[in-house]
Amino acid sequence: MFSTILLDLDGTITNPYIGITNGVMYAYKHLGLEVPERESLRSFIGPPLIVEFTRRGLPEEQAREAVRLYREYYGETGLFENELIPGTVEFLRELKQRGKRVFLATSKPEQFSVRILERFGIAQYFDFIGAAAMDGSRDSKLAVIQYVLGSTGASPQECLMVGDRMHDIIGAHDAGMKCAAVLVGFGSREEFAEYKADYVAETLADVLKYV
């Protein structure tokens, strides 16, 4: 049905919970702000960091400094406080055996994304790395998807976006493609229903029935 699969990173093929929340807590601490409880920071996984910091009430300039501090921690330590979602390697291998093109489409900066894929030994399964720019010029999911499409020549009709949050669904639909939402990460059935995911899968293996 789909010749090209776009994959989100955080919460879809990796579990970055500890590294991301540690990075956010580091930012709050170094800004001299009260550090939130770790569990309350799950919402930072998925959207661009600047969006979540400002949503929580930080003025724009302070939010940008929070992003800088987060990356200071994440680039050295948080990057490696991460693990693969169970079944990821098997899923990627099966996609390639079926002749699918596989592209990454993540709001995480490119230099972090590449290092993560290489660390877990799965970079070879990806035909193109679509990620955010460190300068903020490409950080929304839609901007990343459009970057992927423009760089590869893929048409939205042949693509399926696979992700775990509302941002993946919204970005895919705004780009004219369908989205399979997976329950392996940080989204819920209620979220997927509200934002009208085209498909809902329990596991990555379950996504294969739609491709």
**b or e along 51-67 (b: 16 or more beta carbons within 10 Å of the residue's beta carbon)?**
bbbbebebeeeebbbbb
Give the active site residues: 8
Helix (H) or strand (E) holding 72: helix 60-76
Q: What integer pLDDT is reported at residue 102 of this predicted model?
A: 98
Contact 73, 26 (CB under 8 A): yes
Contact 33, 53 (CB under 8 A): no
Say how far apart CA 211 and CA 202 lie, in whole Å.
15
Q: What integer pLDDT is reported at residue 7 of this predicted model?
A: 98
Q: What integer pLDDT is reported at residue 83 of this predicted model?
A: 96
Closest CA to 73 of 116, 121, 146, 21: 21
Say how far apart CA 88 and CA 71 lie, in whole Å.
26
Examine the domain organization and report whether 203 and 166 are in the same domain.
Answer: yes
Contact 113, 16 (CB under 8 A): no
Examine the domain organization and report whether 170 and 187 are in the same domain.
Answer: yes
Give the predicted TM-score (pTM) of the model: 0.93
Domain span at residue 158?
4-15+83-210
Examine the domain organization and report whether 150 and 166 are in the same domain.
Answer: yes
Q: How many residues does the chain have?
A: 211
Examine the domain organization and report whether 68 and 139 are in the same domain.
Answer: no
Domain count along the chain: 2
Helix (H, G, I), strand (E, B) or coil at 193: helix
Burial class (CB in 10 A: 0-12, 13-18, 19+), 30: middle
Q: What integer pLDDT is reported at residue 48 of this predicted model?
A: 86
Q: What integer pLDDT is reported at residue 46 of this predicted model?
A: 81
Say how far apart CA 78 and CA 151 lie, in whole Å.
29
Examine the domain organization and report whether 66 and 95 are in the same domain.
Answer: no
String of DSSP letters for 100-158: -EEEEEEEEEHHHHHHHHHHTT-GGG-SEEEEE-TTSSS-SHHHHHHHHHHHH---GGG
Q: What is the CATH number of the domain that holds 21?
A: 1.10.150.240
Q: Which parts of the chain have pLDDT scores under 70?
A: none
Pick the last residue of a domain from 25, 51, 80.
80
Q: What is the CATH number of the domain that holds 153?
A: 3.40.50.1000
